[in-house]
Copies of this chain bind each other. A is one copy, B any other.
Amino acid sequence: MNAPATKVTPISGFPELLPAERLLELHFIDVIREVFELHGFAPLETRAVEPVERLLGKGGDADKEIYGISRLAGDDSGKDAALGLHFDLTVPFARYVLENAGRLAFPFRRYQIQKVWRGERPQEGRFREFTQADIDVVDVGELAPHFEAEMPLVIAEAFRRLPVGEFRIQVNNRKVPEGFYLGIGLSDVVGTLRIVDRLARFGADKVTAMLLESGATEEQARQVLALASISSTDLSFVDAVRALGVQHPTLDEGLDALAAVIAVGMEQAPGVLVADLQIARGLDYYTGTVYETQLVGSESWGSVCSGGRYDSLATDGRTTYPGVGISIGLSRLVHLLVTKRGLTATRSTPAAVLVAVVDEETREASRRVAAALRGRGIPCEVAPSAAKFGKQIRYADRRGIPFVWFPGAGEGVDQVKDIRSGEQVDADAQTWQCPPEDLHPAVVTP
């Protein structure tokens, strides 16, 4: 039963973290989860797979390549629908709502922190397997607009508790460009949005060329770019759009909705929400408000948290469940903070204390010390062998464990050593206070 000695190599696009990095990622997840729960979002986990036909046509084709799954040994063909791994958490959530509508209370608020898979070409910070952290609210038939302001403000609260620095959540409403394009005589709204979505990446000249190529006149292209250039952290964007002189009822509707979101943001988190009229969210299923998020100083990373309102994603043909949600690209965010900003965890294990073993005969005494510390919530390990104390201290040091505990072993009193300062003091496992900042690994910036 020996394993074959095949060479072990990473799989491109399927990154894995070292223990200290995973501790850092878990810290992010814990903070995000705490904020989501403080806001009354219920936890949910959906299966990893959906029928392929449900994934197709919702952005899950050209943009977000689907992984199909099949039993290697079995013959599933014909019996069941073909299955694929989900590429986001919104499409599965919409399906879950339809499937469980009779057992859920609406409006239904849920959060979901899970892996998703996309067969895209792997790039820096773009993976084939990654974790997203989503919140959504859905209701039956109608969804109150105040939820559209709430979503980004919950994210702002989570981000303020995380070492991500300054950030901006850009908000747009698809009805603004839609009404504007129709108002200037461009009827291919989706095609135009798709081109404008590339503005940040390709720049104005390239996008102008693409617009002209798609059939727009020079004046139309100029107007499209003029609209996309508007942004403000207050309500001045409304006048700036009006000044372009375009009229359309859908444009009015979009401006009103966007102004309502920004107004709430100005009250609750001044400067965090930005009306940014070039945000479009590509080929997705959004129908109204859309969000993207930039870390200030790291705009080249692209959006680390995106979402929007979707009015017709969850429908069984009779009843529609409109929703709004936002999703943190967690793996991407953590990867970039670790590799570009040097974020790290203070140690590679949860253990705050290593209990030394004097000799194998007294291992049980060391274990009792550890049990006493654990009973008081202090994570610890017992040394793996009764090696020389110098070696046991090196064991702790290599993992960043700050304290080594020396059991008195029958005769003397116990002592604990802070291996960073070298300070060693008498201690009792029933009463010793671990400094709060050392109890759990912390995330530190360089």
State whether the Cβ of A267 lies closer than 8 Å to any Cβ in chain B.
yes
A19 in contact with B69 (CB, 8 Å): no
Query: Contact check: which of B23, B110, B312, B363 meets A42 at CB < 8 Å?
Result: B23
Nearest CB of chain B from residue A153's CB, rounded to whole Å: 9
Query: Contact check: which of B14, B39, B42 meets A348 at CB < 8 Å?
Result: B42
State whether the Cβ of A45 lies closer than 8 Å to any Cβ in chain B.
yes
Nearest CB of chain B from residue A437's CB, rounded to whole Å: 17
State whether the Cβ of A398 lies closer than 8 Å to any Cβ in chain B.
yes
Contacts of A317 in B (CB 8 A): 5
With known contacts A315-B5, A377-B38, A398-B105, A45–B73 Cβ distance under 8 A: no
Contacts of A380 in B (CB 8 A): 38-40
State whether the Cβ of A351 lies closer than 8 Å to any Cβ in chain B.
yes
CA distance A178 to B283 in the complex (A): 61
Contacts of A98 in B (CB 8 A): 8
A76-117 contact mask (Cβ, 8 Å, vs B): 1 or 0 = 000010011100000000111011100111010110000101
A1-32 contact mask (Cβ, 8 Å, vs B): 1 or 0 = 11111101111001111110011011000000
Which residue on B lies nearest to A360, using beta carbons? Answer: B146
Q: Of A49-57, A204-212, A221-229, A290-298, which stretch is located at the interface? A: A49-57
State whether the Cβ of A68 lies closer than 8 Å to any Cβ in chain B.
yes
Contact size range, A: 35 or more
CA distance A58 to B20 in the complex (A): 29
Number of copies: 2
A49 in contact with B100 (CB, 8 Å): no
State whether the Cβ of A314 lies closer than 8 Å to any Cβ in chain B.
yes
With known contacts A42-B22, A47-B11, A377-B38, A67–B72 Cβ distance under 8 A: yes
State whether the Cβ of A364 lies closer than 8 Å to any Cβ in chain B.
yes
Contacts of A61 in B (CB 8 A): 73
State whether the Cβ of A44 lies closer than 8 Å to any Cβ in chain B.
yes
State whether the Cβ of A70 lies closer than 8 Å to any Cβ in chain B.
yes
A11 in contact with B72 (CB, 8 Å): no
Query: Contact check: which of B15, B43, B72 meets A84 at CB < 8 Å?
Result: B72
With known contacts A38-B377, A67-B71, A23–B43 Cβ distance under 8 A: yes
Contacts of A282 in B (CB 8 A): none
B72 in contact with A129 (CB, 8 Å): no
Contacts of A62 in B (CB 8 A): 73
Contacts of A37 in B (CB 8 A): 350, 379
Residues of A261-296 contacting chain B, CB below 8 A? 267-268, 285, 287
A53 in contact with B313 (CB, 8 Å): no
Contacts of A126 in B (CB 8 A): none
Contacts of A313 in B (CB 8 A): 3
With known contacts A14-B47, A348-B42, A350-B42, A99–B22 Cβ distance under 8 A: no
With known contacts A38-B379, A71-B65, A384–B139 Cβ distance under 8 A: yes
Instruction: Offer 22 A-B interface pairs, CB within 8 angstroms, sorted by A.
Output: A1-B58, A4-B54, A5-B316, A10-B99, A11-B51, A14-B47, A16-B100, A19-B42, A19-B104, A19-B110, A22-B45, A38-B374, A38-B378, A40-B380, A47-B129, A52-B72, A65-B74, A72-B84, A73-B119, A109-B349, A144-B385, A146-B363
- 9 extra interchain contacts, Cβ-Cβ under 8 A, other than A3-B94, A41-B349, A68-B72? A4-B53, A16-B96, A39-B374, A40-B350, A48-B115, A49-B129, A65-B73, A68-B69, A146-B363
